[in-house]
Amino acid sequence: MNLLVELCLKLSTDLKEALDRLNQNPQNSSRPPSSQEPWKGKSNKDEDPPGDKSNGSDSELTEKDYLSDTKTSSDDTNNEQENENSSKDQKKKQHNNNDVTNRAPGKQPGAKGFGLKFGTNIKISEEIIHKPDHCHSCGAQFSEETHFKSWTGRDEIELTTPLSGVGLALIKTRHIYQEAECSCGHHTREEPGRCKKEDGWTVELTEWHMAGPNLVTFIASLSQRQRISRVRIHEFLLDWLGLHVSVGTINQCIHEAGRALSAVLPEIINEIRQAELLYADETSWKESKTALWLWVFTCATATLFIVGRREKRIAQKILCGFDGWLMSDGYRVYRDYDWRLRCWAHLIRKARGLAQSTEQQAQKFGKRTLNLLEMLMESIYQARENTPKIDLDKQHAKRLDLFCKFCEAHWDCEHKKTKELAREFIHDWGAIWRILEYPSLPLTNNEAERALRHWVISRRISFGTRTPEGTAVFTSIASVIDTCYKRKVTPWKYISEVIRLRRKGLSVPPLPVAV
């Protein structure tokens, strides 16, 4: 008989757990928004325009929206779902085209290449002669009488804006390089620029490449910002600009842009370290078959992406010398950091999940936690409007004391998720309630999550990166694009200028300043 009772109890617990799991959704658990059924999302809405990312004035609204239920997450779902479908479509199409199930990425053996046709149908509009102005051996200046001889040349195809000021135009320029013999006997040659070898990079950064800096930037933007595959970029350039660029050359352009921009990263890291308020988050990333993490650190003036293992060392390296506020989710590596803030959205989702549980103890714990968080949130919003006479942490000290005891009472709770949340509150006590002392600080890590969103969709389309160099290309370009948008500046002019200078072996210009 006893056995039967025990069995009944066990079955009933199992059933409750199964029911709870069935009821989980992105609003009451840490399940990703993409796990939500597509028919449960709200109306289709486009992704936020990049300019909105750092808009301080509407941060209150976004934060409230973010904390109040489903809005942000369901938008996410639609976006990702849509993209997931399109990536499936793409896969399906590729599959149909090739009729091969497990084909390797890139150009297929026997497939038609377009490399040789690169820009041959454009007429040369200008010829530029480059001659040395002094002897590279003795330093003597060359004069008008010096006899110059052409020794090499290259053609460059560049993307420009036509005289009308709108639209796109392609021009081809012929660059002729000359040499001269000095009276000292030395032959001095002017030659196309080339950046010296750099660790970790195999792609060349040089003026010898036929695509000009603007065209390289354009291709990088189609790939990284518009998330178009290399094959489709090839198709787009051919169909709309009449330009033949092989998929291999497109890949080379993207890699060259990535290498050029890697020199901007030290300045971005410096900005991150000097930030007063920094948001950090991480998500999974795949490099070939290795499971890695994509980390983001974002502040008012910069955004930095890093791909690596999920370990403390990475955070420590980036945050070396940082002494501002750090907003993060519950991730452990940030725990020994003093000036830390915790994202309440994560806590609210977990508490809501428990409140909706069929298990009585969990339900009770969840409801009380949710009520407390919602009440304090209201109090924080009011404090932002009018400074309260008594500080919030003092106002609510008694309430928090009781809640602490309540959490301690659940330290060994039989319900796993209740126990975990109770322990999370105790472990992170200071970081969670710090906002009460400084109500003007943010309540959520929305800023970092939004920074990741665009690249999470890219990951779904491209299935991550394939090589360490490809990963470095991705993080450099992504960091510079997002940093420029944080500064409300379009990144493309700056990126093109960085490529132009780096091809000559020169150092990079400082990041553009917000207008």
Enumerate binding residues for Zn ion (CB under 5 A): 135, 137-138, 140, 182, 184, 186
d(CA 327, CA 431): 9
Q: How far is the CB of 176 from Zn ion (least distance, A)?
A: 22
The residue among 84 and 181 lying less far from Zn ion, judged by its C-beta, is 181
d(CA 338, CA 158): 51
Q: In the 8-state DSSP scheme, what is residue 307?
A: E
What is the signed CA dihedral for 81, 82, 84, 88, rounded to 10 degrees? 130
The residue among 89 and 133 lying less far from Zn ion, judged by its C-beta, is 133
The residue among 8 and 184 lying less far from Zn ion, judged by its C-beta, is 184
Q: How far is the CB of 182 from Zn ion (least distance, A)?
A: 3
Instruction: Tell me which residue of 238, 265, 263 sits closest to 249, measured CA to CA.
Output: 238
Query: Are 232 and 93 contacting, i.e. CB atoms less than 8 angstroms apart?
Result: no
Q: How far is the CB of 186 from Zn ion (least distance, A)?
A: 5
d(CA 489, CA 175): 32
What is the signed CA dihedral for 349, 352, 353, 355, rounded to 10 degrees? 160
The residue among 67 and 135 lying less far from Zn ion, judged by its C-beta, is 135
Q: How far is the CB of 495 from Zn ion (least distance, A)?
A: 39
Q: How far is the CB of 152 from Zn ion (least distance, A)?
A: 21
3-state secondary structure of 324: coil
The residue among 140 and 210 lying less far from Zn ion, judged by its C-beta, is 140
How far apart, in Å, are the Cα atoms of 17 and each of 8, 167, 188, 407? Answer: 14, 59, 80, 21
Q: How far is the CB of 133 from Zn ion (least distance, A)?
A: 12
The residue among 17 and 179 lying less far from Zn ion, judged by its C-beta, is 179
The residue among 139 and 165 lying less far from Zn ion, judged by its C-beta, is 139
d(CA 446, CA 63): 7
Q: How far is the CB of 139 from Zn ion (least distance, A)?
A: 7
3-state secondary structure of 428: coil
| Beta bridge mates, 129 | 176
The residue among 146 and 444 lying less far from Zn ion, judged by its C-beta, is 146
Q: How far is the CB of 492 from Zn ion (least distance, A)?
A: 42
The residue among 82 and 191 lying less far from Zn ion, judged by its C-beta, is 191
b/e sequence 246-268, b meaning 16+ C-beta within 10 Å: bbebbbbbbbbbbbbbbbbbebb
Query: Are 78 and 86 contacting, i.e. CB atoms less than 8 angstroms apart?
Result: no
Q: How far is the CB of 293 from Zn ion (least distance, A)?
A: 56
d(CA 465, CA 291): 11
